[in-house]
Amino acid sequence: MATASCLLSEEKFLCSICLDVFTEPVSTPCGHNFCSACILKYWDSSDICLCPLCKRIFCPRPELQVNTIVSGLAAEFKMLVQVKASTPDPQLAETADILCDICSEIKEKAVKSCLMCLVSFCEMHLEPHQRVAGLKSHTLLPPVNNLDARICETHSKITELYCRTDQACICVLCIKTNHKSHNVVPLEEEYEAVMAKKDESMANIQKMIQSRSEKIAEIEDSVDGAEKEKEASVQVFTDLIISIQRSQAELVEVIEERYRATKQKAEDFLTDLRMEVTELESRSSQLEQLSQSEDHHHFVQSFPSLSSPLNKDWANIGVHCDLSFGAVRRAVTLLKQRADQLMEELPETKMKRMREYAVDLTFDPDTAYCSLVISQDGKQVVAGDTQENLPYNPKRFEISEEVLAKEGFTTGKFYYEVQVKGKTDWIVGVVRESVETYLVQSVKNGYWAIVSDDNGIHRASSKSDNKIIWTEKLQKVGIFVDYNKGAVSFYDVNSKSHIYSFTGHHFTEKLFPYFSLQGNMDGTNSAPIIITPVPQTH
């Protein structure tokens, strides 16, 4: 197969059985890759299932899956081979169709172009330039088809000077007009100066190729490590007893979710890197060809675009997949309870398990402050502009925009989610049934809640040291209550992050979900508080 201008050599993509580029490559447990059909045929022809390369024996025969990374690389390699085969040599493309301008009938191929005459000549018509004294001083170049580009459009003279200020080829008259006081040198001098930089530019290109090659290897190793981590975790949990099978499934789910995200990110980076490597190699090739050319004008005009560095800096870009579950595997082998504890520390798992205790709540109109407006389905509440004249109810909040849920709880665990998106000031949590509505919201007075205001997020308390370190803008809050353990915890639903927990309390009364809208504040805090549906766990 023809060689491609590619980062990796052709040997990297050859199946060691058929000696051709991979077709549906699969990976054996020992890490070697083969065409799917080749390895299956190889195993079918033998009584022993072993790797053709390292001779490792597999019993029973492993179930193979297509290696998507190798498959994608092989496909790109084939494409590069096709592009290389169909792309003509740039220098040949420039000179192949240039014919003599003097030939009248059958035009011969030009051998030289004259910058003074602005004409291309075949061997026969070039003869006067080699014989006549006045013509011998003319500047001859290998045949070019863009002689008009060597003429100044303004003054119709040869552009034999170079303006370093504007980076343009100019004629002698341009110095007196648009390029007056500019840094102007003869074209030959600029050519020599640019040629002096050629080796350095090519060295820089090679350095960029090398750095991107190393980055590709780093990303591929990271992706491979994620796959190996998943396989190791599956193997460990397969050997565990039924009581921890749930933890096994949850761990695999987390690993696969992170692996998919890492793999997608890696594939995006790899695509960009390979495109840049291809571009750099193309530049290197073009620069090498240009350096062999005697066409100073073409070289000077092309050099800046070929030697300019690529904009993207890959030094600090990488793909790192957080798969630190080795401790889980070791611990679960020794003690099931330790594995359950570690699994609880995963935010995805914690959120999933809390949602198993989701309850269906509705706002209680009998407790709502007189300016609050509750939606027909009882799931949204907003602060109205006017205070309604409502009948007296001992459960009603009469000082500020507060409301409880209809549902109360005296045992077990319960969880619900509240949307506070668009609000600047709010309070959410739980209160005991006998709470005095005129007292300050604090644990001492029967409030277990968190507050959002101009000072950020803090726990409901009369003390000054109640600030919670939290920089993210909260849009949806999850509240989890373990009545029997005396704990009330708050979570950022979007990031699945823990915000704060009240712990070590002894509940003796019914607890009700509590909400405070904190007023409209001239429209800046007019968004509703919404009790949102909790996604079903699977």
pLDDT, one tens digit for every residue, the chain (538 residues):
444 444 455 667 788 888 888 888 888 888 888 899 998 988 888 777 888 888 788 878 888 888 877 777 777 777 766 655 555 444 444 445 788 888 887 888 889 988 778 888 998 889 888 888 888 888 788 888 777 777 888 887 888 889 988 888 888 889 888 888 899 998 888 888 888 888 888 888 888 888 888 888 887 777 777 777 777 877 776 765 656 667 777 878 888 888 888 888 888 888 988 998 898 888 888 888 888 878 888 888 888 887 787 777 777 777 776 666 777 666 666 766 666 777 777 788 888 889 999 999 999 999 999 999 999 999 999 988 888 888 888 889 988 899 999 999 999 999 999 999 999 999 999 999 998 877 888 888 899 999 998 888 888 876 666 778 887 889 999 999 999 999 999 999 988 889 999 999 999 999 999 999 988 888 888 899 999 999 876 5
Q: Can you tell me which residue has the tokens 């823990």?
A: 498
CA distance 251 to 457: 32
CA distance 238 to 240: 6
CA distance 488 to 415: 10
DSSP state of 109: B
Both tokens of 55, joined, read: 């001779």
Instruction: Report the pLDDT value the prediction gives residue 359, as an integer from 0 to 100.
Output: 95
CA distance 215 to 317: 9
Ordered strands of the 426-432 beta sheet: 402-404, 511-516, 426-432, 447-453, 456-459
HSE-CB for 108 with a 13 A CA cutoff: 12
Q: Do residues 464 and 425 make contact, with C-beta atoms less than 8 angstroms apart? A: no
Name which of 280, 268, 285, 281 is nearest 311 in CA terms: 280
Q: Do residues 180 and 160 make contact, with C-beta atoms less than 8 angstroms apart? A: no
DSSP state of 519: -
CA distance 453 to 427: 9
CA distance 104 to 117: 17
Instruction: Report the pLDDT value the prediction gives residue 208, as an integer from 0 to 100.
Output: 85
Q: Do residues 521 and 507 make contact, with C-beta atoms less than 8 angstroms apart? A: no
Q: Can you tell me which residue has the tokens 């003599």?
A: 100
Both tokens of 334, joined, read: 């020794």
| Polymer length in residues for the chain | 538
- Is the N-terminal amide bond of 513 cis, ω within 30° of 0? no
Task: Return the H-helix or E-strand segment holding 487.
Answer: strand 487-492
3-class secondary-structure state, position 168: strand
Q: Do residues 152 and 177 make contact, with C-beta atoms less than 8 angstroms apart? A: no
Q: Do residues 26 and 40 make contact, with C-beta atoms less than 8 angstroms apart? A: no
Say which amino acid occupies 448: W
Number of C-beta neighbours around residue 231 at 10 A = 12
Number of C-beta neighbours around residue 147 at 10 A = 19
CA distance 235 to 174: 77
Name which of 467, 463, 469 is nearest 444 in CA terms: 463
Instruction: Report the pLDDT value the prediction gives residue 332, as an integer from 0 to 100.
Output: 63
CA distance 471 to 460: 18
Q: Please, is 342 exposed, middle or buried when counting C-beta atoms within 10 Å of its C-beta (0-12, 13-18, 19+)?
A: middle
Phi-psi region of 496 (alpha: psi -120 to 50; beta: other; left: phi over 0): left
Task: Return the H-helix or E-strand segment holding 491.
Answer: strand 487-492
Number of C-beta neighbours around residue 9 at 10 A = 11
Taking the whole predicted model, whether its pTM rises above 0.75 is answered as: no
